[in-house]
Structure 1
């Protein structure tokens, strides 16, 4: 929408300038200090308009170049940060796997310890029962 409005305003301004230039056909003397020329006023208006447009174009071009450099720098910084975060995530995932493995080993050892305790309890009961059996004979 903004571009359309700017295009319409530009066209209207060009039409106004063209009408103004066509109304001024007489020649004028232009003095540059070291030389003076007779130039039709229409040509002088159009040349001044062209010079002004070129100046505006150059200023806007330099601004666009600066913005593009900033954008590329920010994009590079962003990519670098993403890479660092991905590395941190990878390290954290590796640490998580290591902790899970330790936890499984730890719980496995606990289970083995409780099973060993159950086995020793059962051996004790077996020993008691065999004692009872041998005493009963």
Structure 2
């Protein structure tokens, strides 16, 4: 929509300039300092318009080149930071896996220790019951 409005305004401006130029057909003398030249005013208006458009185009194209360079630089910095973050995520995932393995091993050892304790408690009870049994006889 923005481009369409811009195109329409440009066409209207060109028509206004063309009408203005066509209304000024008389010849005028243009002094360049070192030479003097008699030119139709319509031609002088159109040449001035063309030079102005060329200057604007050159300035806008240099700005676009600068913006493209900045964009590429920011894009490469962003990619580097993203790679760093991916590396950190991978390291954290590796650390998480290592911790989970250690936790599983630790839990297994705790279970074994708990069962050993239960076995020794049961052996103690068996020993006490055996003593009671032998003392009752």
Q: Do both proteins adopt the same fold according to a TM-score greater than 0.5, normalized to the shorter chain?
A: yes
CA RMSD of aligned residues (A): 1.6
- Please, what TM-score do these two structures have when normalized by structure 1? 0.90
Distance 1:40 1:34 in 2: 20
Distance 1:119 1:107 in 2: 18
Unaligned runs of at least 5 residues, structure 2: none
Note the 1:12-23 alignment, pairs <5 A.
12-23=12-23
May I ask how many residue pairs the two structures share in their alignment?
Answer: 137
Q: Deviations over 1:40-88 (max 9, x none)?
A: 1111111100000000001110111111111111111111111111111
Q: Deviations over 1:75-113 (max 9, x none)?
A: 111111111111111111111111111111111111010
Aligned to 1:81: 81
Note the 1:1-137 alignment, pairs <5 A.
1-132=1-132
- Please, what TM-score do these two structures have when normalized by structure 2? 0.90
Q: Deviations over 1:5-49 (max 9, x none)?
A: 211111111001111111112221111101111111111111100
Unaligned runs of at least 5 residues, structure 1: none
